[in-house]
């Protein structure tokens, strides 16, 4: 094809050359003095114009006109030839430049592939320095060659997935040195990932939106602080967080799917302090935390989903959401089993959004909302089972929203709403079953909220309102079934709260004062109080 084009171009150039020569000759001929042409070709003497005949004058005038036309035509032909030659030369120059650029690109691609192959090979080198260089080289290739970026990331993640035993016996000096050397290589990989996820998306070197596969990786620390997970998939499935601190402080989750299914937290810390959850999903489904800490301290939940469905918290583990701010999104501990450790929402700001403990099994440990502010969020314990441990709402402030214990089962443990301000919103224990344990509102202040125990069944356990101040709002037990010890009102201040016991079955609570109580709607089943 190229030869045919070259041959055609050569013939075209020769043809134009001939046309150009002919045009040039015609122009030269046309530029000759008409008198000279008449004198030499026609034998006309024009030295003395007064002696030229009228016929010869006509010839001279006609030739002069013809000459002008020939000059114009020849000039046009030469202009066309010049334009064609200029364009042809420019096209030839472009083809030459493109061919040179293609050759440079091919050479560069070949060099990049050679660099990649060498770096991958060096990852298996026995020398720590060589492996560190290979890690840096792969990150550099990812920066230079966007088409190889995901491949380089996959190789770096695969290196982390290699078998790894954290922190061997310090008495084995040789093994400990080898461990520290390998730990440095692994932490360099994590640090480079974090550095590239911190770069803004507009930066050509940014790794935002890429996929990261940390399946089965053993973590003993690492710096991912400030990382932005805007899209793509990040997988920590079956990963183990064994020691050290994996820092995700100030990270932003704005669209990525982060998967921690069946991850194990056996020590160390996963630190999400001041992180922002705007969109996307972080899934801890089936995760097991037996030691160490997962902290969301001062994190902001504005959108998306953070889910611990089916997770297990035991031992000394801590899931810390202290001072977290909820303005949207969902935090779910649905069907989580807590047999030890702590889930902490101390001083959490629950303005909107959902915190869901539906189907929770609390048999030990603690869930605390100490001094939390409930300003509109929905906090749900629907269908939860309390067989031990503590759910603590002490000193919280409930001004709006819903804390929902519908269909919950209480057979042990405590739910503590001690010294709490209940000025708005709803705490709903409808259809809950109390066979043991205690729900206490000791010294709380009910000034506008609604506490509902509709159709609740008390066969054991108690709801204690001792020394509470009931000045407004409502406390409702319609259709509930009680024993004489189910409710405790020792020292309670009845100042105007509506107490609705209509259609309640069972005896009048023994600690309910005999004196008239403002707002009391007694059960028709109650015997008159003793005089």
Q: Do 413 and 435 touch, CB atoms closer than 8 A?
A: no
For residue 139, the model assigns a pLDDT of: 98
Across residues 439-464, what is the average pLDDT?
Answer: 96
Q: Do 467 and 441 touch, CB atoms closer than 8 A?
A: no
For residue 275, the model assigns a pLDDT of: 98
Categorize the per-residue pLDDT at 514 as very low, low, confident or very high, splitting at 50, 70 and 90: confident
For residue 16, the model assigns a pLDDT of: 52
For residue 9, the model assigns a pLDDT of: 45
What's the CA gap between 478 and 516, in Å, rounded? 20
What's the CA gap between 268 and 279, in Å, rounded? 27
For residue 4, the model assigns a pLDDT of: 46
More confident residue, 202 or 57: 202
For residue 170, the model assigns a pLDDT of: 79
Across residues 113-141, what is the average pLDDT?
Answer: 96
Instruction: Report how far apart, in Å, the C-alpha atoms of 279 and of each of 228, 231, 253, 307 are.
Output: 12, 10, 6, 13
Q: Do 507 and 526 touch, CB atoms closer than 8 A?
A: yes
* Max Cα distance, the chain (Å): 164
Instruction: Compute the residue count for the chain.
Output: 531
Q: Taking 80 as the threshold, does the pLDDT of residue 17 lie above it?
A: no
Among 189, 205, 191, 251, residue whose Cα is nearest residue 225 = 251
Burial category of 216 from C-beta neighbours within 10 Å (exposed 0-12, middle 13-18, buried 19 and up): middle
For residue 23, the model assigns a pLDDT of: 52
Q: Taking 90 as the threshold, does the pLDDT of residue 518 lie above it?
A: no
Question: Which DSSP helix (H) or strand (E) runs through 257?
Answer: strand 252-259
Per the DSSP assignment, residues forming a β-bridge with 364 are 339
Would you call 74 helix, strand, or coil by DSSP? helix
What's the CA gap between 429 and 326, in Å, rounded? 23
Q: Taking 80 as the threshold, does the pLDDT of residue 342 lie above it?
A: yes
Sorted by sequence, the CB contacts under 8 Å of residue 440 that are 6+ apart come out as: 414, 415, 416, 417, 418, 463, 464, 466
pLDDT per residue as tens digits for the range 288-306: 999 999 999 999 999 999 9
Mean predicted lDDT score pLDDT of the chain? 87
DSSP characters over 427-485: EE-TT-EEEEEEEE-TT-EEEEEEEE-TT-EEEEEEEE-TT-EEEEEEEE-TT-B--TT
Q: Taking 90 as the threshold, does the pLDDT of residue 200 lie above it?
A: yes
- What share of the chain in percent tops pLDDT 90? 72
Of the listed ranges 360-374, 391-405, 503-517, the least confidently predicted one is 503-517
* Global pTM value: 0.80
Categorize the per-residue pLDDT at 166 as very low, low, confident or very high, splitting at 50, 70 and 90: confident
Q: Do 258 and 229 touch, CB atoms closer than 8 A?
A: yes
Q: Taking 80 as the threshold, does the pLDDT of residue 49 lie above it?
A: no
DSSP characters over 326-342: EEEEEEE-TT-EEEEEE
pLDDT per residue as tens digits for the range 70-120: 656 656 656 665 666 676 676 666 766 565 555 555 555 668 899 999 999
């Amino acid at each position: 094809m190229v030869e045919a084009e070259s041959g055609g171009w050569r013939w075209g150039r020769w043809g134009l050359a001939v046309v150009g020569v002919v045009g040039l000759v015609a122009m030269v001929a046309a530029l000759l003095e008409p008198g000279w042409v008449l004198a030499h070709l026609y034998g006309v003497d024009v030295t003395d114009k007064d002696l030229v005949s009228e016929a010869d004058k006509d010839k001279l005038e006609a030739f002069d006109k013809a000459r002008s036309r020939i000059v114009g035509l020849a000039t046009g032909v030469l202009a066309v030839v010049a334009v064609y030659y200029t364009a042809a030369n420019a096209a030839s120059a472009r083809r030459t430049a493109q061919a040179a650029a293609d050759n440079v690109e091919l050479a560069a691609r070949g060099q990049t592939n050679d660099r990649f192959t060498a770096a991958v090979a060096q990852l298996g080198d026995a020398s720590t320095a060589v492996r560190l260089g290979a890690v840096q080289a792969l990150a550099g290739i990812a920066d230079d060659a966007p088409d190889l970026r995901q491949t380089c990331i996959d190789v770096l993640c695969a290196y982390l997935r290699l078998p790894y035993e954290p922190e061997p016996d310090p008495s084995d000096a040789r093994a400990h040195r080898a461990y520290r050397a390998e730990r440095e290589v692994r932490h360099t990989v994590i640090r480079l990932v974090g550095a590239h996820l911190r770069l803004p998306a507009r930066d050509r070197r940014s790794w935002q939106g890429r996929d990261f596969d940390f399946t089965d990786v053993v973590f003993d620390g690492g710096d991912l602080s400030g990382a932005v997970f805007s899209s793509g998939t990040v997988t920590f499935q079956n990963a183990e967080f064994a020691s050290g601190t994996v820092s995700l402080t100030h990270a932003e989750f704005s669209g990525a799917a982060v998967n921690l299914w069946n991850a194990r937290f056996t020590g160390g810390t996963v630190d999400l302090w001041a992180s922002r959850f705007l969109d996307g999903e972080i899934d801890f489904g089936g995760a097991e935390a037996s030691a160490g800490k997962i902290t969301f301290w001062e994190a902001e939940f504005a959108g998306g989903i953070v889910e611990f469905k089916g997770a297990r918290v035991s031992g000394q583990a801590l899931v810390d959401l202290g001072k977290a701010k909820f303005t949207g999104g969902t935090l779910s501990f649905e069907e989580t089993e807590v047999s030890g450790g702590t889930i902490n929402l101390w001083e959490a700001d629950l303005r909107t959004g959902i915190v869901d403990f539906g189907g929770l099994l609390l048999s030990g440990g603690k869930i605390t909302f100490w001094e939390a502010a409930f300003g509109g969020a929905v906090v749900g314990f629907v269908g939860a089972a309390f067989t031990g441990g503590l759910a603590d709402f002490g000193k919280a402030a409930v001004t709006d929203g819903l804390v929902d214990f519908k269909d919950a089962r209480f057979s042990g443990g405590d739910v503590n709403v001690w010294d709490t301000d209940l000025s708005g919103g709803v705490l709903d224990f409808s259809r809950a079953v109390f066979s043991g344990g205690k729900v206490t509102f000791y010294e709380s202040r009910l000034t506008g909220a609604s506490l509902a125990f509709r159709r609740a069944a008390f066969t054991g356990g108690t709801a204690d309102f001792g020394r509470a101040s009931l000045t407004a709002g409502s406390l409702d037990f319609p259709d509930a079934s009680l024993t004489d010890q189910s409710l405790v009102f020792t020292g309670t201040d009845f100042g105007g709260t509506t107490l609705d016991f209509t259609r309640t079955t069972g005896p009048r609570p023994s600690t309910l004062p005999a004196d008239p109580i403002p707002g009391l709607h007694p059960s028709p089943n109650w015997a008159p109080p003793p005089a």
